[in-house]
Amino acid sequence: MSNKHRQLNLNAFLYGTGHHEASWRLPETSPERSLDFEHVLRIVQTAERGLLDSVFLADGYSGRSNKLEPFTQLAALASRTKHIGLIATVGTTYNEPFHVARKFASLDHISKGRAGWNIVTGSGSAAENFSREEHPEHSLRYEEADEFVEVVKQLWDSWEDDAVLNDKASGTRIERSKVHKIDYKGSYYSVQGPLNIARPPQGYPVLVQAGSSESGREFAAKVAEVIFTAHQSIGSAQAFYSDVKSRLAKYGRTPDQLKILPGISPILADTVEEAKEIENQLFEFVNKEGAIKRLSERLGIDLSDYPLDKPLSLEGVRQTDDVNGNKSRHQLILDLIEDESLTLKQLVNRLAGARGHFTFTGTPLQLADVIETWFLNGAADGFNVMPQIYPSGLEVFVDKVIPELQNRGMFRTAYEGHTLRDNLGLARPANERHRAHAVNESIG
């Protein structure tokens, strides 16, 4: 497909002071502003100035991350931006469909159609915060998530698009025959409905998914409209792209209904030498002892006394089938060890840059070349941009990489529409559910 008919999609992954774990130690960053809304707003407005499709907030329910809750933050951002999409991570395992459906419908209304939902099943460390003794098994979580999303979609569809009348002459605010119970009864959820807010402007907020395991790929092929994924090479990205796109037909979907956005985490400067200096400075700030401890826990072996400059071995490491968390990221690390014969120091530094996503150090022109190569050779529909330093990394990307992509005819020069779906080139889903019966209760 020629560039004339196919445009890059770009999302900015918001992440504190940057995606490099040591970015907070740089003199130019402001870790003390992690809860400062105006600081986050400046970053998001930079992304909007660069005409990016969306910004994305990751989230979890455990740990000491010290960050704002995404719905609260994105609702505030919606009031101070006009075009950019607003994507929040919300897990299925530790939530209820009704709450999630209502919150995303509210965000979509507040933003006038710019909301997106990154669907995850959650991490094991959250279980004890929700009165559970253990995290559900991996495949079971995806079965539950599949049903969870179906309930949410039915709740969004419980209001027909023209159900709200507000007809003062007749005294009718809501047409009762166009608001429906869903009476859902499944293996995991029982929900009567209807939702207590009108159908979202986009029909459904854009559905995003980030899992790359076998269960995650199949779930994405059935449900997702955007995938955030991690790959260390164009070959790996091409294989993933081909595999997931090939699964769509069984669900009656076409390849253009799913956008695949690998993560790319750059360090940019006017010269390669300057970019390398920034990279080396970041590496010096890495807490090697803490990183090795975390890597030991992930791999299931003690690396505390392992020589830093000795290539790692896969002997005795935890295999992916034995992992009940993020299987795809675990396998990516095993592949790095096997395929590139990395030393412990090299692996620690590689993961410090973006936790397994593709890292890049060089000039804006060189990065544009990489993006173009992946985009034109079946590896990506766009990218999840993950600057290793915020806000400067995004500013350089917007000011120097975006114009180059525009010059090559690969990226927009103005937003195409008003909603996130418009700008991603995704159709608004029709409401074809629950026409059979009206809600009997009065909806005044």
3-state secondary structure the chain: CCCCCCCCEEEEEECCCCCCCCHHHCCCCCHHHCCCHHHHHHHHHHHHHCCCCEEEECCCCCCCCCCCCHHHHHHHHHCCCCCCEEEEEEECCCCCHHHHHHHHHHHHHHCCCCEEEEEECCCHHHHHHHCCCCCCCHHHHHHHHHHHHHHHHHHHCCECCCCEEEECCCCEEECHHHECCCCEECCCCEECCCCCCCCCCCCCCEEEECCCCHHHHHHHHHHCCEEEECCCCHHHHHHHHHHHHHCHHHHCCCHHHCEEEEEEEEEECCCHHHHHHHHHHHHHHCCHHHHHHHHHHHHCCCCCCCCCCCECCCCCCCCHHHCCCCHHHHHHHHHHHHHHCCEHHHHHHHHHHHCCCEEEEECHHHHHHHHHHHHHCCCCCEEEECCCCCCHHHHHHHHHHHHHHHHCCCCCCCCCCCCHHHHHCCCCCCCCCCCCCCCCCCCC
| Domain spans of the chain, in order of start | 9-272+357-424
Q: Which of 149-153, 174-178, 279-283, 309-313 bottoms out in mean pLDDT, i.e. has the lowest?
A: 309-313
CB-CB contact of 117 with 153 (8 Å): no
Average pLDDT over residues 36-45: 97
Average pLDDT over residues 321-335: 76
Residue type, 255: P
212 is in an annotated binding site: yes
Query: According to the model, what pLDDT value does residue 330 have?
Result: 81
On the question of pLDDT at 1 being above 90, the answer is no
pLDDT at residue 163, as a whole number: 96
Question: What pLDDT is attached to residue 432?
Answer: 77
In the structure, what pLDDT confidence band is assigned to residue 352 with cuts at 50, 70 and 90?
confident
pLDDT digits (tens, 9 = 90+) for 146-191: 999 999 999 999 999 999 999 999 999 999 999 999 999 999 999 9
Contact 10, 52 (CB under 8 A): yes
Is there a binding annotation on residue 304? no
The structure tokens 């920034």 sit at 278
- pLDDT for residue 262: 97
- Measuring CA to CA, which residue among 340, 290, 284 is closest to residue 311? 340
pLDDT-derived band of residue 29, with 50, 70 and 90 as boundaries?
very high
Per-residue pLDDT tens for 382-397?
999 999 999 999 999 9
Give the least confident one: 50-59, 140-149, 337-346, 412-421: 337-346
- Domain 9-272+357-424: what homologous superfamily? Luciferase-like domain (3.20.20.30)
Answer whether 0.85 is exceeded by the pTM.
yes
89 is in an annotated binding site: yes
What average pLDDT does range 86-111 have in this prediction?
Answer: 96
